[in-house]
Amino acid sequence: MPDKPAIIMGGTGETISYRTLDARSNQGAHLFRSIGLERGDTVALLMDNHPRYFELVWAAQRSGLFYVCISCRLTLPETDYIVRDSGAKALVVSEGVGAIAEGLPALFPDLPLFMIGVTTPGTRDWIAEAAAQPETPIADETAGTDMLYSSGTTGRPKGVRVALPEDRSIDATNVLVQIAQGVFGFTRDDRYLSPAPLYHAAPLRWCLTVQRLGGTVVVMEHFDPESALRLIETYRIETSQWVPTHFIRMLKLPQETRARYDVSSLRSAIHAAAPCPVPIKQAMIDWWGPVLEEYYAGSEGNGMTMIRSADWLAHPGSVGRAVLGTLHICDDEGAELPPRAEGMVYFEGGVPFEYHNDPARTAEAKNAQGWTTLGDVGWVDEEGYLYLTDRKSFMIISGGVNVYPQEIENHLITHPKVADVAVIGAPCPDMGERVVAIVQPMDMKDAGDALAQDLTAWCRQSLSGVKIPRQIDFLAELPRAPTGKLYKRLLRDQYARDAEGRKCP
């Protein structure tokens, strides 16, 4: 299907056919070989959602390389850390990353540094150099894979490294392709909407899966709730992948705006990255129909659960049963717990992985049985459905009682005047930690004591006393990754610095 669209850019409508994608990725593979990159080497990509993103990824994939996709939201020191930690032997940058590009030549004077767009001193022109290469495959095509870094929500990002595929053929299937076809029913005829940044694991891997199957990927350069609805209607989108933050922002559009767009073409709206608050997911099913399909997994690929709308309606709040690996809930000593007992979530089986250059973290992710965890806490019911409580590292201990912020956040986000919320534990000399809610109002003009009192009363309707925030503060915008993951460590660090000598409210 050489003339079929492989990529459509949602904002501009620019379309790239499979013929062009194939030719450009071949040229990119030749260019990688020309600068000395061989199977098992690493290339880093620092790009916004650019039309040429996929040609770079497929060029690396068909060259047997590890490709590291770096967030363009990072600072120069953070980018420096990932490039050096990953051992990248080349770096490709798009001009859309902004001012950070100016500092890269000085940081990496000995690294091949390519620009897509306007070149600067110390950089090379990727488009021009790639265009001079053959459009035919390189002689030693061999499958590569991604090496993605965690979001760094609780510390420095960790590079997740898995072995290169044993089957070196570039068109070999993989687990996600099998799940997409066998579980979610993806086909070569699907039109798929990607609303999130391509440098994150789920958006990147789902888009590549759609392209492996021959579907069309519609890419949003930046997420906007009404634009997403417009694209669903315009392109008759059938499959898509979201995070709960996207749902919340779409649901908070005026009703007349939401009703303006036809979303009936949707067959599969997959979501992940964070547990979806029950009222939010129920509202989405009421709006879009029973097309929501949720999964729980991580960049590590060590396991995966999945749940469809019909099963979720019977098990509200669950993220499903295991479809990759065997699920276990264990206590702090590693002993397996019975149904409905809360503990650390582990997977047995799945894809072996390691955290690059960090054997201590790799060891921490395993228990004595060799099962692995992403650091989340939860429980399973008698039918094997998993319910996530929160991340272990986010737990608040107030007066000796364990409090998980997720439950409080899930309740506060349903308030009509709340656009976003984070709940953290701030230091408290009396209680150890106090529960603090940092709220992003729908309108900053509402921020103040009256709204804080209203939110406290809202919490008292459904939450026990120990979970009621002792302090409610307001921010114009919370520090979130575009995938919806919250950088709680930034908030907790700030409150820790501000807490010295303060008494608990």
Superfamily of domain 395-498: ANL, C-terminal domain (3.30.300.30)
pLDDT mean across residues, the chain:
92
How far is it, in rounded angstroms, from Cα 175 to Cα 157?
A: 25
Backbone angles phi, psi at 426, to 5 degrees: -105, 145
- Write out pLDDT tens, residues 40-89: 999 999 999 999 999 999 999 999 999 999 988 888 988 999 999 999 99
Same fold for the pair 173-299 and 323-393: no
User: For residue 447, what pLDDT is reported?
Assistant: 96
The H or E element that residue 251 is part of is helix 244-251
Domain locations in the chain as residue ranges: 18-166, 173-299, 323-393, 395-498
Q: Are 100 and 113 contacting, i.e. CB atoms less than 8 angstroms apart?
A: no
CATH topology of domain 173-299: Rossmann fold (3.40.50)
For residue 501, pLDDT beyond 50: no
pTM, two decimals, is 0.84
- Write out pLDDT tens, residues 450-480: 999 999 999 998 888 889 999 999 999 998 8
Give the contacts of 241 (CB within 8 A, at least 6 positions apart): 192, 194, 195, 196, 202, 203, 206, 270, 271, 272
CATH topology of domain 323-393: Luciferase; domain 3 (2.30.38)
Pairing mode, strands 42-46 and 91-94:
parallel
Classify 406 as helix, strand or coil: helix
The H or E element that residue 292 is part of is strand 292-296
Q: Are 403 and 467 contacting, i.e. CB atoms less than 8 angstroms apart?
A: yes
How far is it, in rounded angstroms, from Cα 68 to Cα 264?
A: 36
Pairing mode, strands 343-348 and 326-330:
antiparallel
What are the residues facing 268 on neighbouring strands?
A: 239
Structure tokens that stand for 407 in this block? 């439950």
| Class of 18-166 in CATH | alpha beta
How far is it, in rounded angstroms, from Cα 120 to Cα 164?
A: 34
Give the contacts of 155 (CB within 8 A, at least 6 positions apart): 489
Structure tokens that stand for 287 in this block? 């709006």
Give the contacts of 139 (CB within 8 A, at least 6 positions apart): none
